[in-house]
Structure 1
Amino acid sequence: MATRVSYPVEVKMQAIKMRLAGIPVKVVMDELGIRNVTQLKVWMSWYRNGELHRLGQPVGKQYSFGKGPEFASELEQVKAENRYLKQQLDVPKKVQRIGEEVSPEAVVAWMESIRDEMSVTQACELLGVARATYYRWKAAFATKQENLLAEKIRQLCTLHKFRYGYRKITALLRKEQSINHKRVQRIMQREGLQCRVRVKKRKPTGQPAHVAEHQLQRQFEANAPMQKLVTDITYLPFGGKTLYLSSILDLFNGEIVAYSIADKQDTAFVLDTLNQLPLTEGSMLHSDQGSVYTSQAYQEAVKEKGIIMSMSRKGTPADNAPIESFHSTLKSETFYLEGLTCTTTAIVEQTVRDYIHYYNSIRIQTKLNNQSPMDYRRLAA
């Protein structure tokens, strides 16, 4: 039979103080040499019930409240009694007003706040609420909170036209509350709120004439605005006639700094986009080996602006991945998502202009710490 161990009152009080300070049970037991975790739980129970006199009782003796050894001093007895009365008188006021019934929401919130101070049974006795009733309220409260969260997620998905997946929705929710991304993902799957954007295949590029050196080397990070730029042209075959979009993207924050829409893909078209750039001495502009970019007129205009020209390798669209990705995203999140695959030329142009404004100033990006490109550039400045 195991030998019973008697601990001094000082050790017991020190253990109680350490637990009240939030120190883990294992650390308390190791530092004070306590063998059994049940002993520590019993001491904490005595403390919560105002039975500090029981800390000095002999091993193996059981005393009911008020019938054990006397308090060490009258002051300790008064403190224990005050603490017990405070639990009975002050605590219920936190969850109900005089003359009113107990609010289930307030009870659940309060019970969560005092989990480390007293047991569920003790708290229910103070409130005059059955344990089964409390757990029923807790389950109903959790369901209500889940429904409110699902509605909030639905509003965000609708606001952004189902362009965001669970990661970006989580980022938006975390601006107001702490929430786990797995919970958001589970709710979005259950409610059918997943991102509805589908991948659009890239179209092949044209043949080169005069090729510049591939200087970007897939180094798609930039330390300052207008340091590294990428450009490309994409088809917009959704209106009465095929349109083309020429755009220039800043690799610093993914912002579209210049773009043009036209019904003809020629050198004048890309020059119009290039001329929208401010003087950017020393900037690098990367493109594919399309004929408009390898033309003499375009390359001379680039040199006049003091821009360093860089071009992808033949048949390697991944060398210009950021702008390729943007054009794919634009089509996926507008024309394909909204079913605008057969509309008017005017609607096509307006859709592109509206989306680029949304992309630059509103649409958050994970790689930008869940900020829009313009917000990221302003904060960096």
Structure 2
Amino acid sequence: MKRLYYNSILELSSHYATIWLCQEFGVSRSGYYKWIRRKDKPNYSEIQKHEIISMIREIHSEKPSFGYRRIRNRILANTGWYVCLPRVLACMRAAGIQSKARKKKHWGGVGKPHPVFPNILARQFYSQIPLQKVVTDITEFYWHGRKCFFTCYLDLFNNEMLSWNLDFREDLPFILKPLKEFLQIRRKASVQKTIIHTDQGSQYCSPAFTTLLKRNGIIQSMSRAGTPHDNAVIESFFGWFKEELNLDFHFKQLNDIFLVIKQAVTYFNFQRPVSKLNYKTPVQFRLDRGT
């Protein structure tokens, strides 16, 4: 009888203690007891979260360069499951996953100005039709201890690499080869007006380069001295291209660098979705526009 009496007192005390605590913290008793019942059981939202994280881990292991936008797009393409961007980002943070792509860089000072072509593009990077505005530049990276130079002609209409070249020497033929290939593409398309924008590199100021553009009726535009943001699209593109080349294509471990670059260019043009193109590939976007 005494044990039953003491147990009753303890239960009553616990009951009043629960009432006092709920009032103190502004919590309803029904809500508290509901939390007690489901405390060790995951709810539907938590189950979803584990499924999303599992898919994120799988996509990240395949494409380490993907950020939360492209991961969301890949989940939608693979499963048809629409997950909002904040949810994907929150799941990535909870799992400690982030894109291994490059971080932002800060540019240095301004170099010495010299007579060049005016900046006709003027950071107007939007283009309504193909081959209307094209940007080009040179980037470099190391492969098996050797310095490689890569250049391409990027169409601002859909970020498509129209022509490109890779070499171990940064000379005039290295620049002229992709330019001539681009001019052939332009002749077939019968475009009336084309602007090619570059920086103030010596190759782009050379008579061979400028004469070839003038002979084909192309308007030449140049960035201001020490202002890489005037050609921000190609600068940004090269950063992502080299980062994904390293993370997704593992080019440093392979023996044929030219084959790897060719595969990467094909991937960027035909397979890689671009957010500003509504997650279509550059070629798919161009074909959907009937051009």
TM tier relative to shorter chain: 0.7 to 0.9
1:368 aligns with 2:270: no
1:173 to 70, 75, 84: 75
Amino acid at match of 1:196: K
Over the aligned positions, Cα root-mean-square deviation in angstroms equals 3.1
Change (3 A) 1:281 1:201: same
- Equivalent residue runs for 1:203-242 within 5 Å: 211-242=116-147
Whether contact under 8 Å (2:148, 2:168) holds in the other structure is yes
2:267 is aligned with 1:358: yes
What is the aligned partner in structure 2 of residue 45 from structure 1? none
Alignment-mate amino acid for residue 259 of structure 2: Q
Q: Is the aligned partner of 1:150 residue 2:61?
A: no
Partner of 1:316: 227
- Counterpart residue identity of residue 164, structure 1: F
* Count of residue correspondences: 247
1:189-268 superposed matches below 5 A: 189-199=93-103, 201=105, 211-268=116-173
**What is the Cα deviation at residue 135 of structure 1?**
6.8
Residue number in structure 2 paired with 1:304: 215
2:28 alignment counterpart: none
Shift of 1:220: 0.2
Gaps of 5+ in 1: 1-130
CA distance in 2, matches of 1:251, 1:341: 27
Whole-Å separation in 2 of the counterparts to 1:291 and 1:164? 35
1:186 has 2:97 as partner? no
1:375–1:158 Cα change, 3 Å = farther
Say whether the 8 Å CA contact 1:208–1:290 is kept in structure 2: no
The residue that corresponds to 1:111 in the other structure is none
Q: CA deviation at 1:257?
A: 0.7
CA distance in 2, matches of 1:355, 1:186: 30
Tell me the distance in 2 between the aligned counterparts of 1:174 and 1:338: 20
Q: CA deviation at 1:285?
A: 0.4
Larger RCO (alpha carbons 8 Å, 6+ apart)? 2
* Cα contact 2:136–2:234 (8 A) shared by 1: yes
Question: Which structure 2 residue ranges, 5 or more long, are not aligned?
Answer: 1-33
Aligned partner of residue 146 in structure 2, secondary structure = coil
Residue identity in the other structure for 1:178:
Y
- 1:374 maps to a residue whose letter is V
Summarize the Cα distance change of 1:282–1:338 in structure 2 as closer, same or farther, 3 Å threshold. closer
How far the C-alpha of 1:376 sits from its partner, in A, is: 1.2
Task: Give yes or no for the alignment of 1:379 onto 2:288.
Answer: yes
Distance 1:206 1:303 in 2: 27
Conserved? CA contact 2:251–2:257, under 8 Å: no
Bigger CA radius of gyration:
1
